[in-house]
């Protein structure tokens, strides 16, 4: 039978819950007499706030065949507390979020016959404290013939009660004490002659996380390497680092204990130039919320330092933004379709990374009229053409640009009869990860290409094309031009186009496993082929490189680097140039790989 009680005070020397019976305390309290024995042979139920209070030297025994069913909450635990009380668990335990407190020298005893429910009711989320001061006293004594985990136990200890041990074990079964905390936790506070107690931290781990600004939106993203005992994630927002926090969204976990997953949220309830603080938490199986990371982000405004923005809250067109920035400045374009533009001075044009940025119109995008020492022009993360709209002879034209021109992560989709790219009288052009579905024409120019794919390549008037890890398509050339394909792969450097100050950013180096790599940075680009004096081919793009990361590429061929972006105001709106070099130590040769720009924002 089930007995529902508001309050019980047991005055006798014993209290018995018979086999087959259930004593349901719910959120109520049962107080036993000093020195009494409570024998549970049936089921004792406790809900949040419910408690079994054992007065001086009282004891509770959960006999074999009995059940302790407890459903506490992190902020309102189910409790078995006493004054030098004994607690013995020899039956079935179906419990979470409990407190065991005021113990005798034996502590909480888990006997050989005890069994446990499936997570999260496997006695996780337990606080055990206020043990005995007698020599040899312990908070927990485990006597198990088979292995078991005890997760998320808090081994607190009153300052004036120096219990000798946190945990002891006399059984042969392995006990994994996972994600512990408190003043008597860890190997320093165990008595484990059989060597079966193992203390470990196994929590959800992040491999990457960020909160970044965008056009009238902020992006919160994180990637888990593994997920342990996770029931839910939530993204929160606050106007200050101290709150108040409001929940924006919740997410179901997609990873596992052996592999992670990617998560993202776009906060669109923001205005231009606003800064917000973000927090991502995980809800554990026993209903505890744990903070995974805090971050902050500021939405784009029309202009920051030498950088202008195209999109909601910024400039209406790329042409307007280009006119607003100084020589060497940057333009960041928001997602969507934009009109073609013309570049006649050194600038950097980036896609914001928030979605596809596509340039479509009846005229070509043109880079022209630059001298050798004018400084570089770079285009990154952009798509040109839609495969339908024609009018211009080509989508992109580099004409009489004698400075350094860099294209990276560019897609060119020409209409029928339209060229993808024309390069004329341009001696310092580098194409990286450039995909062209129509013809590429190189006329009286020098072009280095890596990791790219063209449908066709036409060389004219002394043109020179040197490429690696590239599919050039159908090749035609006149007698004065030549095309050279280098064997092997090409190291690549991946990073976001936009870096936010005071944040961690990720760089990924890709290349041949076992090769040594170095990542270099500078404030601008150059165009130096050092292969005539060094065993390093392709082209060095940095005039005065300084290494800031190096290592050996692992068997996966990818190496992750995390950088902290400085918060100096003078850097905001400026850009940084980077390049990767990979060295085959066995062959004694090296190869310069991709170069990139990233712009630093507040």
pLDDT tens digits, one per residue of 369-424: 999 989 999 999 999 999 998 888 899 999 999 999 999 999 999 999 999 999 99
pLDDT over 80 (residue 174):
yes
Q: For a pLDDT cut of 70, what percent of the chain falls above it?
A: 97
Q: Give every CB contact of residue 433 below 8 A, 6+ residues apart in sequence.
A: 408, 409, 410, 450, 451, 452, 492, 594
Contacting residues for 70 by C-beta, under 8 A, at least 6 apart: 45, 46, 47, 50, 78, 94, 95, 96, 97, 98
pLDDT of residue 562: 84
Assess whether pLDDT exceeds 70 at residue 319.
yes
Q: What are phi and psi of 533, to 5 degrees?
A: -120, -15
Residue 11 has pLDDT above 60, yes or no: no
All residues at 6 or more sequence positions from 35 whose CB lies less than 8 Å from its CB, including other chains: 13, 55, 56, 57, 58
d(CA 342, CA 323): 10
DSSP 8-state symbol, 324: H
Q: Are strands 230-238 and 246-251 parallel, antiparallel or unpaired?
A: antiparallel
Looking at residue 252, what is its pLDDT? 97
260-274, 369-383, 536-550 — which is least confidently predicted? 536-550
Query: 3-state class of 571 per DSSP?
Result: helix
Residue 159 has pLDDT above 90, yes or no: no
The alpha-carbon radius of gyration of the chain (Å, integer) is 33
pLDDT, mean over the chain? 91
pLDDT(454) > 80: yes
Q: Are the C-beta atoms of residues 425 and 403 closer than 8 Å to each other? A: no
**Residue 312 confidence (pLDDT) above 90:** no
**Predicted local distance difference test score (pLDDT) of residue 367:** 98
Which of 11-15, 247-251, 330-334, 583-587 shows the lowest per-residue confidence on average (mean pLDDT)?
11-15
pLDDT digits (tens, 9 = 90+) for 409-453: 999 999 999 999 999 999 999 999 999 999 999 999 999 999 999
pLDDT band at 242 (very low <50, low <70, confident <90, very high): very high
Whether 77 has a pLDDT exceeding 70, the answer reads yes
Q: Which residue has the tokens 């404290």?
A: 129
Residue 348, strand partner residues = 330, 378
- The answer to pTM > 0.85 is no
Least-confidence region, from 156-170, 309-323, 460-474, 577-591: 156-170
Residue 210: partners with Cβ closer than 8 Å, 6 or more residues away: 219, 220, 221, 222, 295, 500, 503, 504, 505
Instruction: Look up residue 441 and give its two tokens.
Output: 């024409």
CB within 8 Å of 219: residues ≥ 6 apart: 210, 211, 212, 213, 264, 265, 266, 267, 297, 354
Tell me whether strands 138-142 and 307-310 are parallel, antiparallel or unpaired.
Answer: unpaired
- Alpha carbon 326 to chain centroid distance? 35
What pLDDT score does 470 carry?
97
pLDDT computed for residue 103 by the predictor: 92
């Amino acid at each position: 039978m089930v007995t529902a009680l508001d309050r019980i005070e047991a005055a006798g020397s014993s209290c018995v819950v018979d086999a087959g019976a259930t004593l349901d305390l719910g959120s109520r309290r049962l107080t036993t007499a000093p020195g009494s024995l409570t024998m549970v042979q049936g089921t004792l139920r406790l809900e949040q706030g419910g408690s079994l209070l054992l007065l001086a030297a009282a004891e509770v025994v959960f006999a074999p065949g009995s059940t302790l069913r407890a459903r506490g909450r992190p902020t309102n635990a189910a409790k078995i507390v006493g004054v030098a009380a004994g607690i013995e668990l020899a039956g079935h335990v179906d419990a979470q979020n409990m407190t065991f407190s005021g113990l005798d020298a034996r502590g909480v005893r888990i006997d050989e016959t005890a069994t446990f429910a499936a997570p999260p009711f496997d006695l996780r989320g337990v606080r055990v404290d206020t043990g005995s001061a007698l020599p040899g006293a312990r908070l927990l004594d485990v006597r198990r013939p088979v292995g078991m985990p005890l997760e998320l136990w808090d081994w607190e200890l009153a300052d004036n009660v120096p219990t000798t041990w946190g945990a002891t074990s006399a059984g042969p079964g392995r006990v994994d004490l996972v994600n512990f905390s408190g003043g008597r936790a860890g190997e320093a506070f165990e008595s484990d002659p059989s060597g079966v107690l193992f203390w470990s931290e196994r929590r959800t781990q992040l491999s990457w996380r960020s909160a970044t600004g965008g056009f009238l939106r902020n992006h919160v993203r994180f990637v888990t390497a593994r997920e342990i005992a996770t029931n839910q994630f939530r993204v929160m927002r606050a106007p200050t680092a101290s709150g108040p926090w409001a929940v924006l969204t919740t997410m179901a976990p997609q990873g596992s204990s052996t592999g992670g997953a990617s998560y993202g949220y776009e906060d669109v309830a923001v205005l231009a130039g606003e800064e917000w603080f973000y927090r991502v938490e995980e809800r554990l199986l026993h209903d505890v919320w744990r903070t995974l990371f805090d971050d902050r982000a500021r939405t784009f405004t029309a202009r920051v330092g030498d950088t202008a923005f195209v999109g909601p809250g910024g400039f209406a067109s790329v042409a307007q933004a280009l006119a607003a920035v100084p020589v060497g400045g940057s333009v960041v374009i928001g997602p969507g379709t934009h009109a073609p533009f013309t570049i006649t001075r050194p600038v950097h044009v980036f896609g914001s990374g928030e979605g596809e940025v596509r340039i479509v119109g009846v005229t070509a995008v043109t880079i022209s009229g630059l001298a050798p020492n004018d400084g570089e022009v770079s285009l990154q993360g952009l798509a040109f053409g839609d495969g339908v709209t024609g009018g211009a002879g080509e989508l992109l034209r580099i004409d009489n640009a004698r400075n350094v021109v860099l294209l990276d992560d560019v897609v060119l989709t020409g209409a029928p009869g339209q060229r993808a790219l024309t390069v004329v009288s341009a001696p310092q052009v580098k194409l990286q990860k450039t995909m062209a579905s129509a013809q590429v024409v190189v006329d009286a120019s020098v072009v280095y290409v890596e990791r790219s794919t063209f449908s066709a390549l036409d060389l004219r008037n002394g043109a020179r094309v040197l490429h690696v890890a590239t599919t050039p398509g159908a090749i035609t050339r006149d007698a004065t031009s030549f095309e050279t394909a280098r064997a092997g792969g090409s190291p690549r450097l991946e990073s976001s186009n936009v870096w936010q100050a005071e944040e961690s950013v990720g760089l990924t180096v890709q290349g041949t496993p076992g090769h040594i790599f170095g990542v270099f940075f500078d404030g601008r680009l150059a165009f130096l082929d050092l292969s005539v004096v060094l065993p390093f081919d392709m082209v060095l793009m940095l005039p005065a490189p300084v290494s800031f990361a190096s290592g050996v590429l692992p068997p996966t061929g990818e190496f992750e680097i995390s950088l902290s972006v400085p918060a100096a105001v003078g850097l905001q709106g400026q850009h940084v140039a980077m390049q990767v070099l990979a060295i085959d130590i066995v062959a004694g040769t090296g190869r310069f790989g991709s170069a990139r720009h990233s712009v630093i924002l507040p």
